Amino acid sequence: MDHYLDTPLDLSNVLFVCTANSLDGLPQPLLDRMEVIEISGYTFEEKAAIAAKYLEPVAKDQAGLKDADVKLLPEAVDMLIKQYCRESGVRNLKKQIEKVYRKVALKVVSEHGETEMPEAEVMTAEAQEAVENKPKEEPLAADTTDAAVNEQASETVLEPRAPFKVPDTVHVQIGPQDLQKYVGVPIWINERLYEFTPPGVVMGLSVNPIIGRSFQFSQLMLGGTPMYIETALATALSRSTRPSIQQTGSLQSVLQESISIAYSFAKVFMTKHFPRNGFFDRAQIHVHLPEGAIPKDGMALRFIC
């Protein structure tokens, strides 16, 4: 029953197709009635090939630079993929490449437009004739109505112009060092890899299932990325402190359970092998996963810790 139109509908032969980047927001009863088809995202090599064969030529042509010596170097495309466009698809990569070529076109026109093609030369014969035959505009009378103004505006003659040809002296190559000038500061900075992790820090790995219910954080990554789990003693040990554990980093339920399991395992391990060590009897521990604004979930932490 359509409650808006108050009309019964027969949906027995209707097939609904839905797309989603994550299944976490779907109610379980609805998910049980759906057949989930997982489609993996593009790898780094696939995104680079798509950019070189399809995205760059189209963006260059749309910016009016088809025959110009303007090139986005492969190293710059690699940097765009790694530090600007880590989503599973290529939509954002397409936007960034188009932005680069549009800004290059604007720069070329600003620097060479007036010298290469002055105003008198860019107009076609039809445009010059239209300018010569165009009547002089008379000042509007005080009692002129809006209808008369709109009628006069509708009679405006469009003046066609010859297309701008990029001069042969223009040679532009956009490398990795030029990207900040065109698309801004990188969103993703290369992660630091410790040769030896300091005490309280352990390295995990987020993988990219693209569609799944295990790791929301990894859906923003390209393939995978190292992720450090940081643990620190919140306050100094004293007779007045009470044991506790604090969790931060926008953690979902499975990761919170993993931290609790790791905490219990550590206490059992200390009791079994170091019975005289009373560290966990007084320690207030703080566990943090970086990128706190991104929800994270998964099974990895219980194995890492």
pLDDT in tens, 145-191: 555 555 555 555 455 556 667 777 788 899 999 898 999 888 777 66
Rg over alpha carbons for the chain, rounded to the nearest Å, is: 31
**Residue 222, domain member (yes or no):** yes
Q: Which residues contact 217 (CB under 8 A, 6 or more apart)?
A: 206, 227, 291, 294, 295, 296, 297, 298
Both 109 and 219 in one domain: the answer is no
Q: Which of 151, 183, 215 is the last residue of a domain?
A: 183
Both 219 and 276 in one domain: the answer is yes
Both 179 and 247 in one domain: the answer is no
The residues of the chain scoring below 70 in pLDDT are 113-164, 190-192, 207-225, 292-294, 298-305
**How far apart are the C-alpha atoms of 243 and 147, rounded to whole Å?**
80
**Residue 5, domain member (yes or no):** no
What's the number of domains the chain is made of?
Answer: 2
Global confidence as pTM: 0.57
Q: Which of 131, 157, 183 is the last residue of a domain?
A: 183
Both 56 and 176 in one domain: the answer is yes
Both 97 and 208 in one domain: the answer is no
Q: Which domain holds residue 264?
A: 201-304
pLDDT in tens, 99-141: 999 999 888 888 876 565 555 555 666 666 666 666 655 555 5
